Amino acid sequence: MDTTFPRLLLQHAAQRPADPAMREKEYGIWQTHSWSAMAQMVEHLACGLHLAGLRSGEHMVVVGANRPRLYATMMAVQSLGAVPIPLYQDAAAAECVFPINNAEVRFAFAEDQEQVDKLLEIRPQCPRLEAIWYDDPRGLRKYSESGLDSLDTLIAAGEDFAKKNPSYFRTQVENASPDDVAAMFYTSGTTGNPKGVVHSHRTLLDRAEAGAKFDKLTHKEEVLAYLPPAWIGQNIFSYAQWLCCGYVVNCPESTSTVTIDLKEIGPTYYFAPPRVFEGLLTTVMIRMEDAGWLKRKMFHAFMDLAKRVGPALMDRRPVGLLDRLTPARRSAPTCSRSTAPSASTSSSCTDRPRPPCSCACSPMTRPRPTRWAYRSAGLRSRWLTTARSWCVRGACSRSTTRTPRRRPKCSPPTVGITPATQASSMRRAT
């Protein structure tokens, strides 16, 4: 894609000025920023940074979570030909010293008091760090350090400059080249000092466009930006693809509310590393184990359907009519019991295989359990339920929460059981 990020922003603002570009949840309420509002914010920030002394080729650090103002600051830096350097917001203060000194950073953007405190702590070790602007003013009212100021002050100064020089911002945007450096991302530095990885507008937009074509993304998508902005993956999927496709990026209120915000937004395009999907799978499976019989039955039926036809639908291969209309073609559950002990005798009434039983229990005295727990004691093994009795290998055990009215008498098998164990089982059965 032969363009730059600021040009794409102005293009979306001209084509769809009132459409939502980003949403930010603040105090439990979603605040919407349109494309025209984002373009105006970027213009004022760029003009303010120009007045502060940021020039083409210089670097500026941005530290914080996913916020519209953070992305607007990055784009304002790119508009002037400078290079933004996002750092991890959960990194220790000492870990920020090397990137700041290595890139000779003079300006920094901090999201809140936590990030400001880290930058002020390492400021004696970073002599070139001149100015720090913060977004969230909570807790910073009495800070009087030199070079520390609010982002609102920077925007106000840039707005006055833009009114006096209305063509300055667009001239700077047009002078940028797709091969200019768009951002620098530092590695974790586990084997030594962190290394700065340079990416141009062309390289980031090329991968963003390739991913958008593969997934057939449009401007109607909803995306939740919850991963660290300092990670290259987050920049591609929530920044580069955002400008490439023009969809809506939603910023959660905090990391603790991501699950709630995910339900409220209902993203149509969700990107996450494997550990996030593993955590979601574990949570779902644990909750389904505690669900009722009907919910578990429906869950397993639809999971079987998804495993059977899901790959075909993803590959756009034809799927049978029955698979499209019915949840799952599964036979009704049947129960097969035997009155004599046999190694191959088992019950198929439940989703889990039941142990062999040698008694002639009635189906009414052996209802389908709601939960299972397996316990082994010597030569006897029992399946326990929370509210019903269960008959296994000649020993009928009951739960501690409810005692059944009748317990079926069982004939214990003699194979592999000593006379003492058999006599004990007979006493329990009678």
Beta bridge partners of 391: 396
On the question of pLDDT at 205 being above 50, the answer is yes
Expressed in angstroms, the distance from the first to the final Cα of the chain is 82
- All CATH 3.40.50.12780 domain ranges of the chain, comma separated, are 5-274
Task: Say whether 169 sits in a helix, a strand or coil.
Answer: helix
Nearest to 215 by CA among 196, 194, 237, 232: 237
Q: What's the mean pLDDT in 282-297?
A: 90
- Integer CA distances (angstroms), 325 to 9, 32, 164, 322, 394, in order: 44, 39, 64, 5, 45
Place of tokens 């070790």: 125
Half-sphere exposure of 9 (CA within 13 A, CB side): 27
On the question of pLDDT at 349 being above 50, the answer is no
Q: Which residues does 50 contact at the CB level (< 8 Å), separation at least 6?
A: 80, 158, 161, 168
Residue 362 pLDDT: 38
Tens digit of pLDDT for each residue in 56-91?
999 999 999 999 999 999 999 999 999 999 999 999
Nearest to 98 by CA among 189, 15, 16, 227: 189
Burial of 121 from C-beta contacts in 10 A (0-12 / 13-18 / 19+)? middle
Residue 361 pLDDT: 41
Tens digit of pLDDT for each residue in 33-61?
999 999 999 999 999 999 999 999 999 99
Q: What's the mean pLDDT in 286-302?
A: 90
| CATH 3.40.50.12780 fits domain 5-274 | yes
How many Å separate Cα 102 from the centre of its chain?
32
* Lowest-pLDDT range of 28-42, 108-122, 335-349: 335-349
- Other Cβ atoms less than 10 A from the Cβ of 218: the count is 12
How many Å separate Cα 251 from the centre of its chain?
12
On the question of pLDDT at 404 being above 60, the answer is no
- Other Cβ atoms less than 10 A from the Cβ of 98: the count is 16
Q: Which residues does 245 contact at the CB level (< 8 Å), separation at least 6?
A: 212, 217, 218, 219, 221
For residue 123 the two structure tokens come to 């400021």
